[in-house]
């Protein structure tokens, strides 16, 4: 028996570069959360799936056409097998689940166990054996099976492994929301779940915390009821219908999580407000995301902080005192980080970039709303701004295999790169991962962020950049509402008081580059270093997972004390535009 206070469930967790069980920001956040919990010894256990074939390996041809290959990795090289831990009934078949353990070691002596569930067992049918192969692969049926393995299987696995005392089940996004049914099942024993009373539901609510990451209704996971019946059986599907989580004939994982959570939050203050409007009747709070400071700080800046404020590793607030670091030291540490990035770029692509040129970084999942190609809106203007080799651009990011728009965006970047050749160097680095994330966010001079508003719930790569003194150039969305101080932590594109306008934003971007950033970078390097320094002091000291986790402890996790602002459940099912 082991007592833990928090059980953290996430469809993806980015543990280390060699374990390909993540696709993007959600996984990076989950990994950083676990690392922060390990640093302070929070009694937490995490649950996710194994993904034997990973999230694909990206290949790009000369024209920027992406193809995907399965990742081959050997779980037995990195993880500890702990045998069979649970069973779930899926499509009328008993599916057996085994687990693998990864231990995250932080600054404290406590290790945080992460369990990765796996159905590749000879006892299972050929189809069922593939259920934990691919992250975000397969069709709706495959996806619902995966979510049942994570939610239902995960709760049963915790019990079988011997965890007790959980005070908060933290649902990192709605994918794991079926865990609420497993908790209900455990409470009711052999009784029919459809008989659950309000008091039963209230008892489950008391223990669930839900973090939503999606700012638009279409992004919320949902499944047809007929499919839900086929996969989960009539009893569970009937229970879901009875709990009003199935508007418009669809099982909606967000509604399920909202219905069963005591505390609900968005991932930045602005996102909290948007979520509140999207789901009226629920009290939705906000806790802004962060990143794990030591993980995302480059070796050069780690050495600098270790020398000047050694406390920063266990207390990130000390980064506030970066304000006192001599500017030359900031410049030297950044030059080393940039050198490491340019070395990595040369090894990967054969291109030797000039370290003296303003280098703009952009690395994100390649999907439409991230608008990676906004900067190519007017190539003549960009060519003029970058004349005489004053500017170079680095991109990275994978498009989901089924995301035609994301793939087209990568091709457009390749086309623009070809047209700009000789004027502005543009390089797309294949295979964005945690390591490239670290090189790019620390080695670029400016971090570019141009999502369609309000699609970026938070965004975290700009926070990684801030820890390395790299200012952002960003449209007002997500975390940037809080992190932006014009000319101090970076620069705005467009204006938060105005509605989004593609053309206006493109020209605002060009203006900032041409009139503000380039003159500062090449003409007043010490003034540029001052922006870098205040970026660390203001944003590095705040947008980290140590601060984030302390806010979860104070506001969301019931760690013995009462929580602030518990949300009251609405009496009727929500009727909002999200139901459409
Ligand atoms: C940090 C990170 C992300 C998330 O970045 P966003 O700015 O939120 O898009 C995605 N992928 C990798 C590999 C990362 O390191």
461: Cβ contacts below 8 Å, ≥ 6 apart: 25, 363, 364, 437, 441, 447, 449
Would you say residue 389 has pLDDT above 90? no
At 560 the pLDDT is 61
Show the tokens assigned to 143: 């996806």
Task: List the beta bridge partners of residue 169.
Answer: 7, 208
CA-nearest residue for atom 11, ligand 1, is: 24
The vertex-502 CA angle with 280 and 540, nearest 5°, equals: 70
What pLDDT digit, counting tens, does each position of 228-245 carry? Answer: 999 999 999 999 998 888
What pLDDT digit, counting tens, does each position of 473-483 carry? Answer: 999 999 999 99
For residue 551, the tally of other CB atoms under 10 A from its CB is 16
Q: How far is CA 487 from CA 407, 462, 483, 531, 540, in A?
A: 34, 15, 12, 7, 16
Same fold, 2-59+67-289+551-577 and 353-543: yes
State the average pLDDT over residues 271-276. Answer: 94
Band of pLDDT at residue 488, cut at 50, 70 and 90: very high
Please state, for a pLDDT cut of 90, what percent of the chain lies above it. Answer: 90
Would you say residue 360 has pLDDT above 90? yes
At 576 the pLDDT is 40
Band of pLDDT at residue 82, cut at 50, 70 and 90: very high
State the average pLDDT over residues 419-434. Answer: 97
CA-nearest residue for atom 1, ligand 1, is: 461
Lowest mean pLDDT among 46-50, 66-70, 245-249, 305-309: 245-249
CA-nearest residue for atom 9, ligand 1, is: 364
Q: Which of 359, 294, 317, 305 is nearest to 107 (CA)?
A: 294
Distance of CA 96 from the midpoint of ligand 1 (Å): 33
Q: Which of 437, 514, 432 is nearest to 473 (CA)?
A: 514
CA-nearest residue for atom 7, ligand 1, is: 461
Distance of CA 576 from the midpoint of ligand 1 (Å): 31
- For the chain, the first-to-last Cα distance in angstroms comes to 45
State the average pLDDT over residues 4-29. Answer: 97
In angstroms, the CA 243 to CA 258 distance is: 11
Across the chain, mean pLDDT equals 94
Band of pLDDT at residue 26, cut at 50, 70 and 90: very high
353-543: CATH, from 3.40.50.720, 3.40.50.150, 3.50.50.60, 3.40.50.2000: 3.40.50.2000
What pLDDT digit, counting tens, does each position of 91-101 carry? Answer: 999 999 999 99
pTM: 0.95
State the average pLDDT over residues 376-381. Answer: 98
Query: Hey, where are the domains in the chain?
Result: 2-59+67-289+551-577, 353-543
Band of pLDDT at residue 219, cut at 50, 70 and 90: confident
State the average pLDDT over residues 444-464. Answer: 97
- Atom index in ligand 1 nearest the CA of residue 296 equals 15
Does domain 2-59+67-289+551-577 fall under CATH 3.40.50.920? My reply is: no
Q: Are 53 and 166 in contact (CB under 8 A)?
A: no
At 333 the pLDDT is 98
Give the residues surrounding ligand 1 with Cβ less than 6 Å away.
24-25, 28, 364, 432-434, 437, 459-461, 464
State the average pLDDT over residues 137-157. Answer: 97
The full DSSP string for 134-194 is -TT-S-HHHHHHHHHIIIIIHHHHHHHHTEE---EEEEESGGGTTHHHHHHHHHHTTS-GG
State the average pLDDT over residues 41-53. Answer: 97
């Amino acid at each position: 028996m082991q007592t833990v206070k928090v059980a953290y469930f996430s469809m993806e967790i980015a543990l280390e570069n060699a374990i390909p069980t993540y696709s993007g920001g959600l996984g990076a956040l989950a990994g950083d959360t676990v690392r922060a919990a390990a640093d302070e010894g929070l009694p937490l256990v995490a649950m996710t799936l194994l993904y034997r074939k990973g999230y694909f390996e990206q290949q790009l041809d000369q024209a920027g056409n992406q193809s995907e290959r399965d990742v081959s990795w050997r779980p037995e090289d990195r993880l500890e097998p702990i045998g069979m831990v649970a069973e779930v009934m899926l499509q009328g078949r008993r599916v057996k689940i085994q687990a693998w353990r990864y231990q995250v070691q932080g600054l404290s002596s406590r290790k945080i166990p992460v369990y990765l569930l796996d159905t590749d067992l000879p006892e299972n049918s050929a189809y069922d054996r593939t259920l934990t192969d691919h992250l975000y692969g397969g069709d709706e049926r495959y996806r619902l099976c995966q979510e049942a393995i994570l939610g239902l299987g995960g709760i049963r696995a915790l019990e079988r492994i011997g965890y007790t005392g959980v005070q908060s089940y933290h649902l990192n996004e709605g994918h794991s929301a079926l865990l609420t049914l497993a908790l209900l099942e455990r409470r009711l024993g052999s009784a029919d779940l459809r008989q659950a009373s309000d008091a039963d539901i209230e008892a489950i609510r008391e223990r669930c915390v839900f973090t939503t990451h999606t700012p638009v209704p279409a992004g919320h996971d949902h499944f047809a009821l007929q499919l839900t019946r086929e996969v989960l059986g009539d009893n569970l599907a009937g229970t879901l219908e009875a709990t009003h989580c199935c508007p418009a004939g669809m099982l909606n994982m967000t509604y399920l999580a909202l219905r069963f959570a005591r505390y609900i939050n968005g991932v930045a203050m602005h996102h909290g407000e948007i979520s509140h409007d999207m789901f009226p009747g629920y009290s939705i709070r906000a806790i802004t995301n962060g990143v794990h400071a030591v993980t995302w700080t480059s070796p050069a800046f780690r050495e600098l902080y270790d020398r000047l404020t050694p406390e920063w590793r266990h207390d990130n607030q000390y980064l506030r005192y970066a304000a006192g670091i001599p500017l030359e030291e900031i410049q030297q540490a950044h030059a080393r980080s940039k050198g490491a990035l340019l070395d990595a770029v040369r090894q990967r692509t054969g291109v030797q970039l000039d370290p003296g040129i303003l280098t703009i970084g952009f690395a994100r999942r390649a999907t439409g709303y991230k608008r990676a190609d906004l900067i190519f809106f007017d190539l003549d203007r960009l060519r003029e701004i970058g004349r005489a080799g004053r500017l170079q651009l680095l991109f990275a990011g994978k498009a989901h295999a089924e995301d035609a728009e994301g793939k087209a965006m990568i091709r457009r970047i390749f086309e623009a790169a070809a047209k700009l050749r000789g004027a502005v160097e543009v390089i797309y680095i294949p295979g964005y991962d945690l390591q490239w994330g670290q090189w790019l966010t620390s080695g670029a001079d400016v971090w570019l962020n141009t999502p369609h508003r309000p699609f970026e719930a938070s965004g975290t790569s700009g926070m990684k950049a801030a820890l390395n003194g790299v200012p952002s150039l960003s449209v007002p969305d997500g975390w940037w509402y809080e992190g932006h101080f014009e000319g101090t932590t970076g620069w705005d594109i467009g204006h938060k008081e105005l509605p989004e306008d593609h053309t206006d934003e493109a020209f605002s971007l060009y203006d900032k580059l041409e009139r503000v950033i380039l003159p500062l970078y090449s003409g007043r390097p010490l003034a540029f270093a001052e922006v870098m320094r205040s970026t660390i002091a203001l944003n590095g000291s705040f947008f980290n997972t140590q601060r984030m986790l302390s806010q979860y402890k104070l506001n969301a996790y019931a760690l013995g004390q009462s929580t602030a602002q518990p949300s009251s459940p609405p009496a009727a099912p929500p009727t909002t535009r999200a139901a459409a």
